[in-house]
Amino acid sequence: MSEKGKEMKKEEEEVILDHFMHEHPLVLTETIVESICDSCRRRFYGELGYSCSKKCGSDFVLHEECAEMPRNITHPTHPPQHTLTQKKMAGNCAVCETNMRGEVGYHCSNSACEFHLHLRCASSMGVLYVVPDLNHSTTHPSHPQHQLRLWRRPGRSCSFRCDACGTREMGSSYVCVACQYWIHESCAALSVTARFPHHHHSLSLDFHFPIEYAVFNFKCDLCRKPLMRKHWVYHCRLCRYVVHIKCAIMASSTPNALDNEADASEDEDVIRFPINDIADELIRSFVRRVGETNADDEIINGQYKFHSHDHHFSLVSSSSSSHENEEKEENSDDDDDDDLFYGETSVLSCDGCTAPIHHQKSNYYSCVEGKNFLHSVCFRLPQTFTPSHPLHPQHMSPLMLQTCPKLDTIKCSICKFYTNGLFYSCAECDFKADIKCASLPPTIKHQAHSQHRHHLKLVESKNYKDSLHIRCIGCNDFLMHRGAIFYSCQRCEFVLCCTCVLLPASDDTRYLDQHALPLAFNAAVDHPEKFYCDECEQEMNPKSWMYNCRHCDTSFHPECINTVSGYCRNFKFGQEFSIQPLHGHPLRLERLIRKLRCHICGRKEKNDLGFQCASCNFFACGCGNLSNDDVLPVD
pLDDT at 478: 82
**Does residue 67 sit in helix, strand or coil?**
helix
pLDDT in tens, 153-176: 543 445 677 999 988 776 778 888
Residues in the chain: 635
pLDDT at 124: 61
* Burial of 474 (C-beta count, 10 Å sphere; 0-12/13-18/19+): buried
Q: Do 216 and 194 contact (CB within 8 A), yes or no?
A: no
High-pLDDT (> 90) share of the chain, %:
25
Q: Residue 86 pLDDT more than 50?
A: yes
Shortest CA distance to 572 belongs to which of 426, 371, 376? 371
Q: How far apart are CA 152 and CA 173, in angstroms?
A: 7
CA dist 103 → 34, 90, 114, 447, 560 (Å): 19, 7, 15, 54, 58
pLDDT band, residue 3 (cuts 50/70/90) = low
Q: Is domain 506-565 given the CATH code 3.40.50 in the classification? A: no
Shortest CA distance to 208 belongs to which of 167, 175, 252, 163? 163
pLDDT at 282: 94
Shortest CA distance to 217 belongs to which of 555, 501, 557, 542? 542
Alpha helices in 147-268 (DSSP H): 185-188, 211-214, 245-253
Q: What sign for the dihedral angle of Cα 415, 420, 422, 427?
A: positive
pLDDT band, residue 130 (cuts 50/70/90) = very low
pLDDT at 128: 38
Give the mean pLDDT of the chain: 79
Q: How far apart are CA 303 and CA 567, in angstroms?
A: 35
Mean pLDDT of 72-99: 79
CATH, range 576-633: 3.30.60
Tell me the range of 89-103, 116-130, 150-164, 546-560 where mean pLDDT is highest: 546-560
pLDDT at 326: 47
Q: Which residues of 82-108 are buried (b: 16+ CB within 10 A; e: fewer)?
A: ebbebeebeeebbbbeeebeebbbbbb
Number of H helices, E strands in the chain: 14, 49
Reported as type and span, the H/E element at residue 512 is strand 506-512
pLDDT band, residue 127 (cuts 50/70/90) = very low
pLDDT in tens, 318-372: 665 554 554 444 444 444 444 444 444 457 889 999 998 876 677 899 887 767 8
Rg (CA), the chain: 36
pLDDT at 301: 59
- CATH topology for 3-67? Wheat Germ Agglutinin (Isolectin 2); domain 1 (3.30.60)
Instruction: Tell me which of 518 and 68 has the higher pLDDT.
Output: 518
Q: Show me where the domains of the chain are located.
A: 3-67, 193-257, 271-325+345-379, 384-438, 506-565, 576-633
CA dist 76 → 80, 99, 285 (Å): 7, 21, 67
Amino acid letter, 497: C
Same CATH fold, 576-633 and 3-67? yes
Q: Residue 9 pLDDT more than 50?
A: no
Q: Residue 468 pLDDT more than 70?
A: no
pLDDT at 494: 87
Mean pLDDT of 508-514: 66
